[in-house]
Amino acid sequence: MKQHELIKEIKQHLKYKRILLKLSGEALMGNKGYGIDPLTVEYIANEIEKVFELGVEIAIVIGGGNIFRGIEASVKGIERASADYMGMLATVINALALQNAIEKLGLPTRVQSAIEMKALAESYIRRKAIRHLEKGRIVIFAAGTGNPYFTTDTAAALRAIEIGAEVILKGTKVDGVYTSDPLKDPSAKKFDIISHFDVLRHNLRIMDSTAITLCRENGIPIIVFNLQEEDSIKNIVFGKKVGTLVESLGNT
């Protein structure tokens, strides 16, 4: 069987064929307290490769909190809009680092930035992003929405809706959504499934409220999972039970 025929056969067994992976900037730090850990970025790239080989169309939105966090900087005296723009630039640095790691594996990528910077990345164009995905290229969205006062969580929700992603995969340091922070509260209980409404109602903070609301109104499910567990993304696209599923349940 030829490779393209094999991929076509595999894709018939996939639950999700077009995904948006949301990575925080902190996900690139590894065990460091700041910046980018090359080994961690390499690990993430390898996990992405496993899914790419299945024929899954992959888009990625990446944060910048490992380098600069706009909200915290604004509290310390930098004007909020300026601080947010500085944070957007940090996401571009992360996007280029991830692109480099992915391309070392021989996979085609494109970085699209919501803020024009022709020397580093394409400008974000929705139809062009979709075309890249259809041609088998991994698209990394940088610079958030391009606007201050909006988080990269909101950017992830917006981009997922725009490109027709079937699911948002939110990679974290824990294996799902809990009643409280399991790293601080040993009695915290994990949800296997929860509605967008209940995430908002209980203020669970897996993503900001604007992002959750966008997903709720547009029927985009979110899967929160531990990025450090090998094959997690691969298992998710095959429909295996991983992490916590956030979706619309009934009328909520």
Burial of 122 (0-12, 13-18, 19+ CB in 10 A): middle
Q: For residue 165, count other CB atoms closer than 10 A to its CB.
A: 24
What distance in Å separates the CA atoms of residue 185 and residue 146, rounded to the nearest whole number?
Answer: 36
CA 184/CA 118 separation, integer angstroms: 44
In a 13 Å sphere around the CA of 183, the CA atoms on its Cβ side amount to: 6
- Count the Cβ atoms, other than its own, within 10 Å of residue 104: 11
Compute the distance between CA of residue 191 and CA of residue 52 in angstroms, rounded to an integer.
28
Residues 6 or more apart whose CB falls under 8 angstroms from that of 248 comprise 195, 196, 197, 216, 219, 221
| Residue 247 to residue 215: CA distance in whole angstroms | 8
In a domain, residue 252? The reply is no
In a domain, 58, yes or no: yes
Is pLDDT at 194 greater than 90 in this prediction?
yes
Structure tokens at 241: 């039970």
pLDDT value for 10? 73
Helix (H) or strand (E) holding 139: strand 138-142
Tokens 């076509």 correspond to what residue?
8
Can you give the residue range of the structural domain that contains 74? 3-247
Whole-prediction pTM: 0.93
Residues sharing a CB contact under 8 Å with residue 249, sequence separation 6 or more, in sequence order? 193, 194, 195, 197
CATH of the domain at 108: 3.40.1160.10
Number of folded domains in the chain? Answer: 1
pLDDT digits (tens, 9 = 90+) for 17-46: 999 999 999 999 988 888 999 999 999 999
The secondary structure of residue 219, as a DSSP letter, is T
On whether residue 189 sits in a domain, the answer given is yes
- Is 107 among the domain residues? yes
In a 10 Å sphere around its CB, with 0-12 CB exposed, 13-18 middle and 19+ buried, how is residue 20 labelled? buried
pLDDT averaged over every residue in the chain: 93
- pLDDT tens per residue across span 63-88: 999 998 766 766 678 999 999 999 99
